[in-house]
Amino acid sequence: MAVYPGGTWYDKATPGHHFWFNFLCDLLRQNGLNGRPNPLGSRLATVGMLSLVIAIAAYFWIAPEAMPRWPSVGRIVRITGLLGAAGLVSVALLPSDRFGKLHTFAIILAAGPGIIAVSLALAGVAFDPQAMAWHRLLGVSLWLSVVATAVLFVLHTFMGGGWIRALPAMQRVAAILAVTWMANAAVTLLQRLGRDTV
């Protein structure tokens, strides 16, 4: 973010990176939306996004452990979560400035199984009697933000219009909630496994 040269999709002259108005994918571009070179930023963004994908894949690998009463649902969460993570690898490696429609297709490819995995994982927590109320609230907030981001993306991609203004901000909200959710879920699961082995 610190080295992104500037530009958003609705104001190419915006200097530097704007947290709420730039997409995460803008950071992957070899040139900022203002046309200035972004060689270091694009490499750092690719490494950062791939690191996030590894964390997402790790979360969905262990997620079934959080729903021992529903092993079949847990397996679906793992499979769809890993498929979504694999799709995100394509998003990182196919930036929009070089791959255009393939980048959009990669987002759609990742979103489908990702939304299924998140929805089922959140449902598992919702019906878990050991889950704390704030964890459920975090899960509902994450689900709503993921769905809102997907709807805005579809509206923008297939209908155009002013949705581009709300979409990057919603993407950031969803990303922040997702990282918070995964970190909290991982810590909670590790604590639970620690109690079970004592």
- pLDDT tens for 76-89 read 999 999 999 999 99
pTM: 0.85
CA torsion 101-104-110-116 (nearest 10°) is -130
Indicate the average pLDDT of the chain.
Answer: 88
Residue 1 has pLDDT above 90, yes or no: yes
- Does the CA dihedral 133-134-137-143 come out positive or negative? negative
The identity of residue 63, as a single letter, is A
pLDDT above 90 (res 193): no
